[in-house]
Amino acid sequence: MRPDEAFPFFGIEIRTPRLSLRLGGDEDNLALARVAASGIYPAGRIPFVSTWAEEDPDVLPRNLLQHRWGNLSGQRPGDWNLHFTVFHEGGPVGVQSLWAKDFGVRRTVNSGSWLGRDFQGRGLGTEMRAAVLELGFATLGAELAHSGSFRGNAASEAVSRKLGYEPNGIEVYAVKGERKISQNWLLRREAWERSRREVISVSGVTPACLEFFGLTP
pLDDT tens, residue by residue, 114-144: 898 889 889 999 999 999 999 999 999 999 9
User: What is the tens place of the pLDDT at every residue in 67-122?
Assistant: 888 888 888 889 999 999 999 999 999 999 999 999 999 999 999 988 988 898 89
| 102 falls within a domain | yes
Band the pLDDT of 29: cuts 50, 70, 90: confident
What's the pLDDT score for residue 117?
86
What's the pLDDT score for residue 67?
80
Provide the β-strand partners of residue 114. Answer: 95
Cβ atoms 132, 14 nearer than 8 A: yes
How do 19-22 and 108-115 pair as beta strands? unpaired
- Residue 147 maps to which CATH number? 3.40.630.30
| 125 falls within a domain | yes
List the domain range (segments joined by +) for residue 155: 3-212
Is residue 78 classed exposed, middle or buried when 0-12, 13-18 and 19+ CB atoms within 10 A define those classes?
middle
Provide the β-strand partners of residue 181. Answer: 172
Cβ atoms 208, 9 nearer than 8 A: no
Structural domain count of the chain? 1
| 217 falls within a domain | no
Provide the β-strand partners of residue 19. Answer: 88
pTM value is: 0.91
- Listed in sequence order, the residues at least 6 apart from 5 whose beta carbon sits closer than 8 Å to its beta carbon are none
| 195 falls within a domain | yes
Is residue 95 classed exposed, middle or buried when 0-12, 13-18 and 19+ CB atoms within 10 A define those classes?
buried
